[in-house]
Structure 1
Amino acid sequence: MAYTGTMLAWSILEYGGVMGRDLPLAMEALRWATDFFIKCTAKPGVVYAQVGDPKADHNCWERPEDMDTPRTVYAVTKTKPGSEVSGEMAAAMAAASIVFENAGDRSYSSLLRDRAEKVFRFADAHRGSYNDSIGYGVCPFYCDYNSYQDELVWAATWLNKATKNSMYWNYIVKNFGDFKPNYERLLLQFGWDAKHGGIDIILSQYMMENHLVNSSAPNFVGYADAFICNIMPQSPFRYAHISPGGLLVSLQVTAAHSFVLVTYALYVKKTNHVIRCGNVVIPPDSLIQFANTQVDYILGNNPLKISYMVGYGKNYPQHIHHRGSSLPSIRSHPKPIRCKDGTPFYQSPKPNPNRLTGAVVGGPDENDKFEDSRQDPGKLEPTTYINAPLVGLLAFFKGLNRQ
């Protein structure tokens, strides 16, 4: 959820100007998340990281209105740290503080910025993974597989942008040496668990704008180029898997990486930077064109001619892995649906009775194969962390089409 908040804020910062009447809705969604993070971090030295027993919740299939599973609360503290979840919350609040500052809500922006700084200091001073501190509350469902160092740099990156305080840039430069071995191992990733590609893109802009490219600081411009070279089809160094139908597998990767592609393309255009992948020059427009193919794939231009956004187009998933969508409404079924009472609905071959318009599911496999089965959460579960970067992407292409 914190990553969702950060990406939604980044989407608004970059592309809010072309969102039109959807901008207030995007900001409302962002504020819903940041209000929650403010509550989660209200007690000094404590960050509430998870609500609900994940195994009990996954064991039941019931409507949100009927949930009777334990609402266990898991927190990270000074003695049981969780730098990744604390760092990501700090990043989300820092990014959102810029959004609300730009919108003229200075008091809320100040609250977010101050809280982000406090939570970042907590995350940095008490380093450790919530895998170890919370354990059962996050694993095996939400484990951190890529360590917490990237979230600390990610949070410092957004605080550097939000506060314009050089101490955060100095923090990044000072700590990067310790983080570098693990960082470079995961350099070519970006998503809810690994922040490396996003860090590179934002800090490359900072370095180019402040003429730091040839300084003794870490070469984030080079890292950003390497990230791009990992993705683009014409690059001799491409490592990312592209399906026969042209998809960057999976849709989580597609959404996050495509957002980074168009955003970096705009940064590059402003600074006249040249992206080189060996002897191959990658023009910024080619990044935008490739991202466009990814968005088109999600919306139906793919081998199966299926839109992976619920409610968009004539052919889209009918059996998404979502309790509220798949169970009858209270109006049509007033009696409570308890834990195992929902199993017949979960197993039913019938389409979901409630359409979750706009939700984007996990999508096809690496060979473009997709079966519309509620019992395959990897392909049919919608997530906010797919939708958040898509908000920015769709706004960007909406604005591009108007030019």
Structure 2
Amino acid sequence: MPLSHFLLFLIFFNISLLCVQCNPNYTDALSKSILFFQGQRSGHLPPQEISWRASSGLSDGSLAGVDLTGGYYDAGDNVKFNFPMAYTATMLSWSVIEYEENLGPQLPAAHAAIRWATDYLLKCARATPGRLYVGVGDPNADHGCWERPEDMDTVRSVYYVSPENPGSEVAGETAAALAAASVVFKKVDPSYSRLLLATAKDVLQFALQHRGSYNDSLGSHVCPFYCSFSGYMDELLWGAAWLFRATNETYYLNITKSVGGGGDGIDIFSWDNKYAGARVLLARSYFSMQGSLVNNDETVEAYKQQAEEFMCRILPNSPYSTTQYTKGGLMHKMGATNLQYVTSITFLLTTYSKYMASANHTFTCGDLGVTPWTLQILAKRQVDYILGDNPMKMSYMVGYGANYPKRIHHRGSSLPSVMTHPERLECGAGFQPYFYTSSPNPNTLIGAIVGGPNQTDFFPDERRDYAHSEPATYINAALVGPLAFFAAAS
């Protein structure tokens, strides 16, 4: 074992914390990570395994005279925020694109999870010319209630962006989601794929031609919930990168050249900041298109270099690392919902290692040699930590393992199901006794990954502590790929 690999091994497999009996069942975790999305569905539900959920939001869009039923509730609330939902769809699609062979019997479920989002996003993009609908439900009113989605009695306000009130970040992410999904469905449903791709092209042009932030256009309807803190240039880059991936047209590569500046020193990847993800995606061309038109394109080589600079800021023993780790070995990026960054970055680690391995490629971070295996060790440590190899010996995926969060910050999970309590629970009726009780949630949201422990590896498992106990679609979506990667290798 090279010295750099041995040092990395010691750092992340801390002998005092190493669980010698731990043997993560990646296949089980993979199936549960996808099953989770059934619990977040809005709209008319078919028969499904998460049977304590029922149809909801069946009049969504009616206030604007359009059909906006379907899609996902983003986290533990009952609002449909398209910005994180589209990112969720993009990451699920990227997982299938990269790891389709590894998904095995879970592939149909992954397709269904993607399509539940993209069917809705197509409605949002095609319902009214000149408008892109970007959300349903008044977040301020909704967050004042603790009620099941089946009982919602807050106003289902409809929000959109337009040439007069632009939203380039949410439009760019929507274009990315539709383009990525078009690749997923290209063989299994060609007509659907063509519709997705055509709509993605239109939405990206809308984002490029009518530039501006949806923070300014929609204000308190999206902030502070899902403000775009990184601006919208990263979403324009991300959307163009996905259309290049879907079409291989140099037109879209040229767009990335015009919008791809910025994002220097980035050491994060999330629903808000896409620079690292776009650069890893674009770097694929350097490895997989040898001898093609773009192989010698300086732009593609620059994206590869930027992707590797990002990795150097993540690796713990890199001289350029800007990433903190807990004593237990978990990346720590933010105090709230930290696992969203862990899962997204872990996806980039496994995926870039895959690209590197395809070409026997290595790179250096100063005097640190980096191989595909280097990235995989770090990625595996993050996945194993989430699944229970951590100081608390707790799985942060609900329903996986014997010890997992029982009091997650999630309305549907924490309130009795309509199957067992058919009487309506109005806005404030859920706080007492359900929200404030110390009892476990009555419904298990199988597969949900919560926000995770704090910087000292501690997790209180308290419903009121939403910063650590709330699950979200974008946390799960990014872990599907790494779980598939390690499931195939185990």
For this structure pair, what is the TM-score category when the shorter chain's length is used for normalisation?
over 0.9
Higher mean alpha-carbon deviation, 111-120 vs 43-52, is at 43-52
Q: Partner amino acid for 2:483?
A: L
Farther off after superposition, 291-300 or 217-226? 217-226
- Match of 2:19? none
2:22 alignment counterpart: none
CA distance in 2, matches of 1:300, 1:208: 35
Post-superposition shift, 1:289? 1.4
Matched with 2:184 is: 99
Alpha-carbon distance, 1:210 to partner: 4.1
Q: More helix per residue: 1 or 2?
A: 1
Specify the alignment match of 1:217 in structure 2: 299
Partner in structure 1 of residue 281 of structure 2:
202
Specify the code of the residue in structure 2 equivalent to 1:357: I
Distance of 1:107 and 1:175 partners within structure 2? 31
Aligned to 1:59: 144
- 1:191 maps to 270
SS at match of 1:293: helix
In structure 2, relative to structure 1, the CA distance for the partners of 1:143 and 1:175 (3 Å cut) is closer
Provide the rounded CA distance (Å) in 1 between the counterparts of 2:150 and 2:223: 26
- Residue aligning to 1:36: 120
- For residues 227 and 351 of structure 1, the distance between their equivalents in structure 2, rounded to whole angstroms, comes to 40
* Partner residue in 1 for 2:110: 26
Checking the alignment, whether the CA contact within 8 Å between 1:50 and 1:137 is kept in structure 2 is: no
1:13–1:215 Cα change, 3 Å: closer
Give the Cα–Cα distance (whole angstroms) in 2 for the partners of residues 56 and 40 of structure 1: 22
Shift of 1:13: 0.5
1:234-282 CA distance string (max 9 Å, x none): 2111111111100012211111111100100010111232221011111
3-state SS in 1 of match to 2:429: helix
- Contact between 1:213 and 1:221, CA under 8 Å: does it hold in 2? no
1:241 aligns with 2:324: yes
Partner of 2:474: 385
Alignment correspondent of 1:113:
197
Secondary structure in structure 2 of the residue aligned to 1:70: coil
The structure with higher relative contact order (CA 8 Å, sep 6+) is 2
Q: Is the 8 A contact 2:361 2:371 kept in 1?
A: no
The offset of 1:306, in angstroms, is 0.4
What runs of 5+ residues in structure 2 fail to find an aligned partner?
1-84, 333-337
Retained in 1: the 8 A contact 2:90–2:178? yes
CA distance in structure 1 between the partners assigned to 2:396 and 2:287 by the alignment: 37
Asked if the contact 1:308–1:360 (Cα under 8 Å) also holds between the matched residues in 2, the reply is: yes
Counterpart-to-counterpart distance in 1, 2:364 and 2:107? 36
The secondary structure found in structure 2 opposite 1:49 is strand
Contact 1:201–1:260, Cα closer than 8 Å, also in 2: yes
Question: Any stretches of 5+ residues in structure 1 without a counterpart?
Answer: none
The answer to whether 1:8 aligns with 2:92 is yes
Kindly indicate whether the alpha-carbon contact (under 8 Å) linking 1:146 and 1:194 is maintained by their aligned counterparts in 2. Answer: yes
**Cα shift readout 1:357-377 (whole Å, capped 9, x = no counterpart):** 100000001111110100011
Q: Which residue of 2 aligns with 1:135?
A: 219
Distance 2:330 2:134 in 1: 33
Per-residue CA deviation, residues 169-208 of structure 1 (Å, 9 max, x unaligned), is 01112333xxx2x3215x2221100001111111111134
2:392 is matched with 304
User: 1:334: how far off?
Assistant: 2.2
Q: How many Å separate the matches in 2 of 1:126 and 1:207?
A: 31
Q: Which amino acid aligns with 2:220?
A: Y
The reply to whether residue 343 of structure 1 matches residue 428 of structure 2 is no
What's 1:276 paired with? Answer: 364
RMSD: 1.3
**2:159 alignment counterpart:** 74
The answer to whether the 8 Å contact 2:285/2:295 transfers is: no
Q: Compute the TM-score of the two structures, normalised by the length of structure 1.
A: 0.96
Q: How many residues align?
A: 395
Q: Percent identity?
A: 49
Deviation of residue 213 (structure 1)? Answer: 7.0
Shift in alpha-carbon separation, 1:215–1:329, aligned structure 2, 3 A:
closer
Q: Deviations over 1:266-322 (max 9, x none)?
A: 101112322210111111111111111111000000000000000111100000000
Quote how far apart the aligned CAs of 1:158 are. 0.4
CA distance in 1: counterparts of 2:328 and 2:295, whole angstroms: 38
Deviation at 1:102, TM superposition (A): 3.1
TM-score (normalised: structure 2): 0.79
Alpha-carbon distance, 1:214 to partner: 6.3
1: CA distance between counterparts of 2:168 and 2:93? 21
Confirm or deny that 1:293 pairs with 2:377: no
Amino acid at match of 1:39: K
> Matched residue of 2:417: which SS?
coil
Asked if structure 1 preserves the Cα contact closer than 8 Å seen for 2:134 and 2:159, the reply is yes
1:17 to 71, 82, 101: 101
Alignment of 1:248-267 (within 5 A): 248-249=331-332, 250-267=338-355
Q: How far does the alpha carbon of each residue in 1:22-71 deviate from its partner, in whole angstroms, 9 at most, with x for none?
A: 10000001001000000000123211011000000000000111110000
